[in-house]
Homo-oligomer: A and B are copies of this chain.
Amino acid sequence: MKKVTINSVATYAGVSKKTVSRVLNNEPNVSPATREKVLKVFKELDYTPNPIARGLARNRSFIIGCLYDNPSKSYITRVQSGALEACHKFGYNLLIHPCELRGEALIENIEQLLQTSRLDGLVLTPPFSDSKELVAFLKKKGLPYARVASAIEEDDSISVRSNDEQGALELTEHLIKLGHKEIAFIKGHPDHSATELRFSGYKKALANHGIAFEPRLVAEGNFSYHSGADSAKTILDLNPRPTAVFASNDYMAAAVLKLATQRQLKVPEALSIAGFDNAPIARHIWPGLTTIAQPVEEMTRLAVEHLILSITESPDMVFQTVLEAKLICRESTAPLEK
């Protein structure tokens, strides 16, 4: 079983290899009859072009890289899944590259990645999508990129996000409508732009309903479960204790629930808890967490699709979209008991 290449196909079909190449790439200037003939030989010989040879000639790798540094496994898996869907649609593959934003020499790390893999483009997820330094570097290198879930302003690029502020506002209003006025808030990681947006949604909802914002009710988390546990302790030790807690993601909310349960504080009767993201854990625990669902797969899919289009067709494509976040009510929030 010999290797079948463009040459074997050309010989077999009785045409030049340039003609085979034309058929391969759907180029014009091939007579229908010739095209048919070549396509038939493709089938007969079970030919598929070698992407590496193609890559060398066209200076392409047909590989998209995905950058992330995120404590949430479920978030990462969803990002990967959306990215893969887009890649496979266009015959690309996905290479994953977790790394640390704060790690010394992020730029060096990325530089090495580019040298060893010659990616055609890069999808940035938070907190990388928020890094102006990284974006500047990629621009300088001329490497196409797309940003997911970032709110930083940068008009000449591809960016898909969901409406974090609106989601947080709706979730907070849900709590307010249940009668809560003392609503604690746990912030996310300061490197993520979503952190400020969610916080701002919370504050706007309070303001809309004439509830004074109280800094003492705000705890600084960083999206990790561990930081949620620390914040939970601070909040549950407050006197008077708030009647509801809104954590900036579900992991931190789960940590609040765990501590409340340990302390025999009934949830939701004595304390309402809400999260953000609709991570699997939100429905794997009891009571299930009220939360905001973001279309992470779709955000990433759209971002990568446009990234690939920008690589293959229009180099200076601009695409900016905001998708909707949705309130999911479960058992962890309930009317305030008097």
Contacts and interface: CB of A to CB of B under 8 A. Distances in A.
A80 interface: yes
Contacts of A280: 73, 225
Interface of chain A, main secondary structure: helix
Given A51-B117, A117-B51, A225-B280, A84 B56 contact: no
A230 to B, nearest CB: 14
Contacts of A14: none
Nearest to A118: B52
A284 interface: yes
Interface in A262-286: 262, 280-281, 284-286
Contacts of A254: 284-285
Closest 9 CB pairs of A and B: A48-B115, A73-B77, A258-B286, A261-B286, A73-B73, A52-B55, A73-B74, A93-B117, A56-B56
Contact of A284 (B91, B115, B225): B225
Interface in A19-63: 48, 50-53, 55-56, 61-63
B51 A118 contact: yes
A76 interface: yes
Copies of this protein, total: 2
A190 interface: no
Interface residues of A, number: 41
23 contacts: A48-B115, A50-B56, A51-B118, A52-B56, A62-B116, A73-B73, A73-B76, A73-B280, A80-B98, A81-B98, A84-B97, A91-B116, A93-B95, A93-B117, A94-B95, A95-B95, A96-B96, A225-B280, A225-B284, A254-B284, A255-B284, A258-B286, A281-B281
A251 interface: yes
Interface in A234-253: 251
B55 A84 contact: no
A257 to B, nearest CB: 8
A177 to B, nearest CB: 26
A273 to B, nearest CB: 13
A52 B61 contact: yes
Given A51-B116, A51-B117, A91-B116, 17 more contacts: A51-B118, A52-B55, A52-B61, A53-B56, A55-B56, A62-B116, A73-B74, A73-B77, A76-B77, A84-B98, A93-B95, A225-B280, A251-B284, A254-B284, A262-B286, A281-B281, A284-B285
Nearest to A254: B284
Interface string A79-122: 01100100000010111111000000000000000011110000
Contact of A96 (B73, B80, B115): B80
A71 to B, nearest CB: 9
Contact of A77 (B77, B95, B116, B257): B77
Nearest to A71: B280
Contacts of A251: 284
Given A73-B73, A285-B258, A95 B52 contact: no
A280 B285 CA distance: 13
A116 B96 CA distance: 17
Contacts of A258: 284-286
